[in-house]
């Protein structure tokens, strides 16, 4: 059986590059040769906290070339350049009818794999793309767009969904808490929507990048500093919205304090269940402050997310700070897990 290289999750904090069989495909499936896969924080949580049993091959922000197609696949050819989504809804169930796509049972099934229990598979040379993803979850990549840029379609989609759920509009003041690569995507999308952004991060380099991407003001991450900035920018009213783009639940109280009555706090990075928080119920009821969540992607935003990248409405290539060969995937995961002054997006190339 032909083999390929893959970074295999073997247990808590253990990722080992090994030879595994190249996946076989069915008549309505595709085999994609991966060129680039971004390292995502959700995969890091699974690796470091042991949230799922091993072995698995993670990685889901992926783009590459169709290597082979099942006999019943239509509309695609070998050699086509594609970005591949790993979660795609059925479009028929109770949740899909209400556009709660991330809660669809089919969406919750991972539709791409490089072997073992499906987990994305982008940290490998090849992935098997299952039939419902071939049908609705592959995006054609233009020749003038790099695979690295195309690998951002999934994370840009998730951020764009968050911007829409938070109701960001022209003239809003928005605090984006965390200016890692996700926070910087949020900053760019909020600016694109016509908002003024207060970019919050403890690292000076990330704050300077946020200014380059259009943030109106920046602040270190202490509550006193960024809450004051938000109130000063609005004549004491408070920000219209705050987006929490860091997995630290303790900052949510500060986010609630920085918004105005009637404002919204969007939780984006709280992707682990049984993660309790305390909230001021009076602020939610009497001050009508909304605490909402946004998780994963929205298939209705797939084309718009791709256009944001393909038409360079936002800059994703500039977010890439480090590239690692697949053989060095463990090092890539280590760097992504411990952000430092100059690190942003980590990409694995195969």
**Final residue belonging to a domain, choices 293, 316, 337:** 293
Residues 17, 113 within the same domain: yes
Residues 40, 182 within the same domain: no
CATH of the domain at 288: 3.40.50.720
Residue 162 included in any domain: no
321, with CB counted inside 10 A (0-12, 13-18, 19+), is middle
**Final residue belonging to a domain, choices 274, 293, 312:** 293
d(CA 2, CA 125): 12
Give the pLDDT score at 262: 98
Residues 176, 288 within the same domain: yes
d(CA 19, CA 33): 15
Residues 276, 320 within the same domain: no
- Number of domains the chain contains: 2
Q: Do residues 302 and 136 lie in contact, with contact meaning Cβ atoms separated by under 8 Å?
A: no
Residues 14, 67 within the same domain: yes
Residues 33, 117 within the same domain: yes
Residues 238, 321 within the same domain: no
pLDDT in tens, 154-201: 999 999 999 999 999 999 999 999 999 999 999 999 999 999 999 999
Could you tell me the pTM of the whole model? 0.95
pLDDT in tens, 138-164: 999 999 999 999 999 999 999 999 999
pLDDT(222) > 80: no
Residues 198, 98 within the same domain: no
Residues 7, 92 within the same domain: yes
Residues 93, 17 within the same domain: yes
Structural domain for 49, as ranges: 3-156+298-349
Give the pLDDT score at 96: 97
Q: Do residues 183 and 250 lie in contact, with contact meaning Cβ atoms separated by under 8 Å?
A: no
Residues 319, 257 within the same domain: no
Residue 14 included in any domain: yes
pLDDT in tens, 255-306: 999 999 999 999 999 888 888 888 899 999 999 999 999 999 999 999 999 9
Give the pLDDT score at 271: 80
Which of 46-60, 94-108, 328-342 comes out lowest in average pLDDT?
Answer: 328-342
Residue 307 included in any domain: yes
Quick one: tokens of 191?
């600016």
Residues 104, 14 within the same domain: yes
- Across 93-100, average pLDDT: 97
Q: For the chain, give the secondary structure using H, E and C.
A: CCEEEEEEEEECCEEEEEEEECCCCCCCCEEEEEEEEECCHHHHHHHHHCCCCCCECCCCEEEEEEEEECCCCCCCCCCCEEEECCCCCCCCCHHHHCCCHHHCHHHHCCCEECCCCCCCCCCECEEEECHHHHHHCEEECCCCCCHHHHCCHHHHHHHHHHHHHCCCCCCCEEEEECCCHHHHHHHHHHHHCCCEEEEECCCHHHHHHHHHCCCCEEECCCHHHHHHHHHHHCCCCCEEEEEECCCCHHHHHHHHHHEEEEEEEEECCCCCCCCCCCCCHHHHHCCCCEEEECCCCCHHHHHHHHHHHHCCCCCCHHHEEEEEEHHHHHHHHHHHHCCCCCCCEEEEEC
CATH of the domain at 96: 3.90.180.10
Give me the chain's average pLDDT, please. 96
């Amino acid at each position: 059986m032909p083999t390929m290289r893959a970074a295999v999750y073997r247990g808590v904090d253990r990722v080992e590059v090994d030879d595994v069989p190249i996946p076989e495909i069915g008549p309505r499936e595709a085999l994609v040769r991966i060129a680039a896969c971004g390292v995502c924080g959700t995969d890091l949580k699974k690796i470091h906290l042991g949230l799922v049993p091993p072995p698995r091959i993670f990685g889901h922000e992926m783009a590459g070339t169709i290597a082979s197609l099942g006999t019943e696949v239509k509309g695609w050819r070998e050699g086509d350049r594609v970005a591949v989504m790993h979660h795609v809804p059925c479009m028929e169930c109770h949740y899909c009818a209400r556009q709660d796509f991330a809660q669809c049972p089919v969406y919750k099934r991972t539709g791409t794999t490089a072997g073992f229990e499906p987990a994305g598979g982008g940290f490998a040379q090849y992935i098997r793309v299952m039939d419902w993803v071939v049908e609705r979850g592959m995006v054609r990549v233009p020749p003038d767009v790099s695979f690295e840029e195309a690998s951002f379609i999934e994370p840009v989609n998730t951020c764009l969904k968050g911007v829409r759920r938070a109701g960001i509009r022209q003239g809003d003041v928005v605090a984006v808490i965390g200016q890692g690569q996700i926070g910087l995507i949020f900053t760019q999308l909020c600016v694109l929507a016509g908002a003024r952004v207060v970019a919050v991060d403890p690292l000076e380099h990330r704050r300077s990048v946020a200014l380059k991407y259009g943030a109106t003001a920046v602040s270190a991450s202490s509550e006193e500093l960024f809450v004051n900035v938000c109130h000063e920018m609005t004549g004491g009213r408070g920000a219209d919205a705050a987006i929490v783009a860091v997995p630290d639940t303790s900052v949510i109280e500060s986010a609630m304090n920085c918004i105005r009555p009637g404002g919204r706090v969007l939780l984006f990075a709280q992707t682990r269940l049984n993660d309790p928080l305390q909230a001021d119920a009076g602020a939610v009821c009497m001050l009508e402050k909304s605490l909402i969540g946004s998780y994963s992607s929205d298939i209705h935003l797939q084309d718009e997310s791709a256009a944001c990248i393909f038409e360079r409405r936002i800059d994703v290539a500039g977010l890439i700070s480090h590239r690692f060969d697949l053989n060095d995937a463990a090092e890539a995961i280590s760097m992504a897990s411990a952000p430092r002054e100059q690190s942003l997006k980590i990409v694995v190339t195969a």
